Amino acid sequence: MRGIRVDHDPTALGRLAAVARTVVDEQRKLADQTDRPYLAFPDYADFRARMNLYVKRELLIARMKEARLHNWEGAALRIAALEWQLTEVQEQIDEDDTGRLRR
């Protein structure tokens, strides 16, 4: 893996790993900017705060996939409701990421 970094992963685990890596990178950057070296090591609260929406998104995606596998009455309504929830979560993620980029 000399010099090769993964910048995209189609799996839920890969996407969550990318978020965790971003948390670490952001904490290191914050530590450098503030002269507080202890901030370079994210703790449980840092990961929990940053990953909450991403975990919700992955759960919604999994529920949508599961609903699509079953041909039961009401599946279309369930999928539509999940898609709506997913859109809301994605908008929150986008707002959060945009706010972090401005800092």
Q: pTM of the prediction? A: 0.77
- pLDDT per residue as tens digits for the range 12-62: 998 899 889 989 998 999 999 998 888 889 999 999 988 999 999 999 999
Is 3 a residue whose pLDDT tops 50? no
- Is 2 contained in some domain? no
**CA 8 from centre of chain:** 13
* Beta carbons within 8 Å of 57's beta carbon, 6+ residues apart: 86, 89, 90, 93
- Is 1 contained in some domain? no
- Is 85 contained in some domain? yes
Q: How many domains does the chain have?
A: 1
- pLDDT per residue as tens digits for the range 64-87: 999 988 877 888 899 999 999 999
Query: Which position has the token pair 């940053």?
Result: 50
For residue 73, the enclosing domain spans 12-102
